[in-house]
Amino acid sequence: MAKDKNIKTNAVRILDTMGIAYELKTYECGEFTDGMEVAKKLGQDPSQCFKTLVTQGKSGGYFVFVLPVAQELDLKKCARAVGEKSVEMIHVKDINKITGYIRGGCTSIGMKKQYPTVIHSSALDHERIMVSAGKIGMQIILAPEDLARAANAVFEDIAV
């Protein structure tokens, strides 16, 4: 559990409520920084650092995908994983309206609504992975199975 009671995001509160063990990491950042830079700042292996991307399906529904920061989504694999004909990335300007988070601080835990969520299957190759804590400058390190439980997610191959 996090030791610093002054820092709480929705994601951190949910993990605490669920009794999920995690480590909280912070870094200096004034604005959006890509995941590779965050991994470097925190001395983490990029293959264990995951980003959260949000798409909209042909049906109009939203879908959340979590994948390693150095990889790109395969939109066809993503669509198959969630049973859609196709999915496309949402516009950056819509991230807050849809998720409640901002670009660079988006996480699959504790969005405004529970959207179908898929974590790249490579997460299972690691004992622990790092994802955003729901705020720029904060990351959570936890077991991939615990992330899946907190985000009500499944594991699939969704990257190029």
Tell whether 142 is covered by a domain: yes
**Is the confidence at residue 96, as pLDDT, over 80?**
yes
**So what's the pLDDT on residue 6?**
56
Nearest residue to 129 (alpha-carbon basis) of 18, 44, 43: 44
Tell whether 4 is covered by a domain: no
**CA–CA dist 40, 34 (Å, integer):** 10
Mean predicted lDDT score pLDDT of the chain? 93
Lookup result for tokens 């995908």: 65
Tell whether 116 is covered by a domain: yes
Structural domain count, the chain: 1
Residue 118 φ then ψ, to 5°: -125, 130
**So what's the pLDDT on residue 12?**
96
Tell whether 85 is covered by a domain: yes
**CATH code, 128:** 3.90.960.10
Tell whether 1 is covered by a domain: no
Tell whether 136 is covered by a domain: yes
> Is 0.75 surpassed by the pTM of this model?
yes
Domain extent for 102: 10-156
Tell whether 128 is covered by a domain: yes
**So what's the pLDDT on residue 7?**
72
Tell whether 133 is covered by a domain: yes
pLDDT per residue over 22-63, tens digit each? Answer: 999 999 886 667 889 999 999 999 999 999 999 999 999 999
Q: Evaluate whether 69 touches 34 at the Cβ level (below 8 Å).
A: yes
